[in-house]
């Protein structure tokens, strides 16, 4: 059993601090902090006010992308607010645009994302998107949300891609996913 697996078991048994874990393993606090950071990035634990706890099953589902299963990055992701209070979250704009094509549109009350430059929340329906740029922080083909079309156009000038409104972005993403990336064949052998 790896140390990280053992840490999870010990947390389940009642260990709540990095100090307790470091003493148990007879290692430095830095070593335990590194393990805890990795476990947190993997979505298995939560660190709060110096304590550690296992993530509950409901929290794991909420922090996982509904399309690809990656951890949700709140700076890039989409949150669909559905009728009845249900939330559908995605890790990035790529998956957010794909999710829109699969969700029952009549049940969508609101879609929130964040402006790529400022990280301010925006209504995704009102945003501008750059699809298929050379920058790819998460899933591919890449998609980025912007509060203003002007910012989206400036970004596309530097990194390529198509500037689109929300509806057009969902169609372009679907087309790119169906066709796959364009491959340049070399004429040299």
111 has which bridge partners?
80
Distance CA 172, CA 142 (A): 11
Distance CA 172, CA 129 (A): 10
Q: How many domains does the chain have?
A: 2
* CATH at 26: 1.10.10.10
Q: 82 and 43, same structural domain?
A: no
Distance CA 87, CA 58 (A): 12
Q: 96 and 12, same structural domain?
A: no
Q: 166 and 82, same structural domain?
A: yes
Q: What is the pLDDT of residues 80-132, one digit of tens each?
A: 999 888 888 999 999 999 999 888 888 999 999 999 999 999 999 999 999 99
Q: 29 and 119, same structural domain?
A: no
Which one has a higher pLDDT value, 179 or 82?
A: 82
Q: 166 and 96, same structural domain?
A: yes
Q: 45 and 10, same structural domain?
A: yes
Q: Does any domain span residue 60?
A: no
Q: Does any domain span residue 73?
A: no
Give the residue-averaged pLDDT of 157-181: 89
Q: Does any domain span residue 51?
A: yes
51 has which bridge partners?
17, 48
3-state secondary structure of 62: helix
pLDDT confidence band for 184 (50 / 70 / 90)? very low
Residue 28 belongs to domain spanning: 3-55
What b/e sequence results for 39-74 when a residue is b if at least 16 CB atoms lie within 10 Å of its CB, and e otherwise? beeeebbeeeeeebeebeeeeeeebbbbbeebebee
Q: 104 and 169, same structural domain?
A: yes
Q: 154 and 83, same structural domain?
A: yes
Q: 160 and 89, same structural domain?
A: yes
Q: What is the pTM of this model?
A: 0.63
Q: 102 and 34, same structural domain?
A: no
Whether the CB-CB separation of 122 and 137 falls below 8 Å is answered with no
């Amino acid at each position: 059993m790896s140390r990280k697996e053992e840490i999870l078991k010990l947390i389940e048994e009642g260990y709540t601090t990095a100090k307790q874990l470091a003493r148990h393993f007879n290692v430095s606090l830095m070593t335990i902090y590194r393990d805890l950071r990795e476990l947190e990035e993997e979505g298995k634990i939560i660190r709060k006010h110096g304590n550690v706890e296992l993530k509950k099953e409901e929290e794991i589902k909420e922090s996982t992308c509904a399309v690809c299963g990656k951890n949700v990055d709140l700076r890039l992701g989409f949150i669909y607010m559905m009728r009845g209070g249900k939330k559908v979250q995605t890790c990035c704009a790529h998956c957010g645009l794909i999710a829109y094509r699969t969700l029952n549109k009549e049940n969508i009350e609101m879609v929130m994302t964040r402006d790529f430059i400022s990280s301010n929340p925006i209504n995704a329906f009102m945003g501008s998107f750059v699809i298929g740029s050379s920058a790819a922080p998460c899933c591919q083909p890449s998609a980025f949300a912007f509060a203003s079309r002007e910012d989206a156009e400036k970004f596309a000038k530097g990194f390529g891609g198509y500037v689109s409104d929300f509806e057009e972005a969902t169609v372009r993403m679907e087309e790119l996913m169906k066709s796959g990336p364009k491959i340049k064949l070399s004429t040299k052998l």
